[in-house]
Amino acid sequence: MQIPPRGLAVRLSGHGDPSQVLRLENVAPVPPGRGQVQLRMRLAPINPADLNVIEGTYGRLPTLPATLGNEGLGEVVALGEGVSGFALGDLVRPRDGIGTWCQWCTADAARCLRLPAGLPDDQAAQLTINPGTAWAVLHEFPAGPPGSWVLLNAPTSAVGRSLMVLASRRGLRVLALVRREEEVGTVRSLGATEVVIEGREAAKAIRRQSGGTALLALNQVGGDSAAILAKSLAPLGTLVTIGALARQPLTLPNAAMIFSELRCCGFWVSRWYERVQPGVVEGMMDELGKLLRDGLLHLPVAATYPLERVQEAVAHAQRGGRGGKVLLAAHP
């Protein structure tokens, strides 16, 4: 493929207000060196982690200036010397730190994840971070035998939707904690067995519905919502925190910590990809690829913007009630 002398990239010059720190630049694509692949990027989602990188609060920040974007779908268009295991035309996601909000990307082959074939681009572009996290949490933390309950807040997030589908395939029942009455019907249609609305009596209601037997809770929110999940777990249950959507500290009830001997863990999928055996990731890709291909899991898209409209796209991604991901198209 003929690579043009310049291509667009969304660059971050400092942390803070996106309108001040994001720049659309025309940069020269970098030919792949030894062990590297060159990618023609197609689509990249704007995930909460990207917003945290822009504001400077994410767990791992790039050296600035840097091309933004943790996740995305790219096609291998050139191979550097010594690359094995990848071929021209393969669809991959370059792992975090490489920068995906661009037209052309050069990455170490060892840091690329091959994506399943036969998926719509908008689903493949979103597979590894959010569905990947839901898969990894169920793989890493015991939920109990089929029939056991898993507790979940923010169930309409991409992670939440994926978790509900994966849990049901494993014979688990999901009890979802929502903020508003209007969410109940949607969340049930996405696979929750029971739905409880946040409030003073929520922990009691969850314990009543689940018989107080749940061993695993996935917390994406923090604050009061996480405390409700913690109070609702069975003795020796595990509260896994992956997000802080409410931007409130995680406060855990003393009684649950002591008398239920609550386990409280964090999980970060970026580190998981670094430590996990390749065969486990292959198993994850196979299962998620099949679910997405068969339409049993669907990751909704709120809107797709060209890179030139990145400011508008980021503003959209920051709004609540989006109903899906905002994507950036590299070559619309």
Ligand X SMILES: NC(=O)c1ccc[n+]([C@@H]2O[C@H](COP(=O)([O-])OP(=O)(O)OC[C@H]3O[C@@H](n4cnc5c(N)ncnc54)[C@H](OP(=O)(O)O)[C@@H]3O)[C@@H](O)[C@H]2O)c1
Q: Are 326 and 313 in contact (CB under 8 A)?
A: yes
Structure tokens at 245: 């959507």
Q: How far is the CB of 127 from ligand X (least distance, A)?
A: 12
Which region, judged by CB under 6 A, interacts with ligand X, from 97-105, 142-150, 227-235, 316-324?
A: 316-324
Among 70, 100, 123, 133, binds ligand X (CB under 6 A): 133
Give the nearest residue (CB) to ligand X.
243
Which region, judged by CB under 6 A, interacts with ligand X, from 93-101, 166-174, 218-226, 301-309?
A: 218-226
Q: Scan residues 223-242 and list those touching ligand X (CB under 6 A).
A: 225, 242
86 is a site residue for ligand X (CB under 6 A): no
Q: What number of other Cβ atoms are within 10 A of residue 293's Cβ? A: 15
165 is a site residue for ligand X (CB under 6 A): no
Among 269, 307, 310, 330, binds ligand X (CB under 6 A): 269
d(Cα 46, Cα 317) in Å, to the nearest integer? 7
The strand ranges marked E within the chain are 7-12, 22-27, 36-46, 66-67, 73-79, 91-94, 104-108, 112-114, 149-153, 173-178, 194-197, 216-219, 238-241, 263-266, 301-306, 325-329
Known active-site residue 273: no
Q: Scan residues 185-214 and list those touching ligand X (CB under 6 A).
A: none
Q: What number of other Cβ atoms are within 10 A of residue 310's Cβ? A: 21
Rg value, the chain, Cα: 20
Q: Which residue in the list 8, 9, 43, 58 is annotated as catalytic?
A: 58
Decide: helix, strand or coil at residue 222.
Answer: strand
Active-site annotation, residues: 58
Binding-site ranges for ligand X (CB under 6 A): 47-49, 129-130, 133, 154, 156-159, 179, 220-221, 225, 242-243, 245-246, 267-269, 320-322
